[in-house]
Amino acid sequence: MPDRSRLWPLSLAAATAVTALGAGVAPLRQALHAREGGLRPSEFPGGPENIWVGQVPGVEAVELPPGLARFSCRNNRLAEMALGSDGFAEAVAAAVARHGPERVAVVLGTSTAGIEETEQAYRRRDGAGALPASFDYAGSHDLQSLPAYVRARLGLRGPAFAVSTACTSGARSMLEAASLIASGLADAVVAGGVDSLCRLTLHGFASLELLSRGRPTRPCAADRDGISIGEAAGLVLLTRPEHAPPGAPLLLGAGASSDGHHMSSPHPGGLGAVGAMRAALDAAGLTPGEVDYVNLHGTGTRANDAMEDRAVHHLFGDGVPCSSTKGWTGHALGASGAVEAVIAMLCLEDGLVPGCLGVAERDPEFRSAVAIANEARPVRRVASNSFGFGGSNCCLLIGRAA
Give the residue numbers marked as catalytic: 167, 297, 331
Question: 3-state DSSP call for residue 88?
Answer: helix
Is the separation of the CB atoms in 89 and 155 below 8 Å? no
3-state DSSP: the chain helix, strand, coil percent, rounded to 5?
35, 20, 40
Is the separation of the CB atoms in 19 and 54 below 8 Å? yes
User: How many Å apart are CA 397 and CA 385, to the nearest integer?
Assistant: 9
**Parallel, antiparallel, or unpaired: how do β-strands 250-258 and 293-295 relate?**
unpaired
Please name every residue paired with 384 in a beta bridge, in sequence order, or none if there are none: 295, 396
User: How many Å apart are CA 115 and CA 99, to the nearest integer?
Assistant: 35
Question: 3-state DSSP call for residue 61?
Answer: helix
Nearest in space to 240 (alpha carbons), one of 346, 344, 104 = 104
Question: 3-state DSSP call for residue 370?
Answer: strand
Is the separation of the CB atoms in 261 and 31 below 8 Å? no
User: How many Å apart are CA 289 and CA 63, to the nearest integer?
Assistant: 47
From first CA to last CA, the distance across the chain in angstroms is 25
In SS3 terms, 171-187 reads as HHHHHHHHHHHHCCCCC
Question: 3-state DSSP call for residue 305?
Answer: helix
**Parallel, antiparallel, or unpaired: how do β-strands 293-295 and 381-388 relate?**
parallel
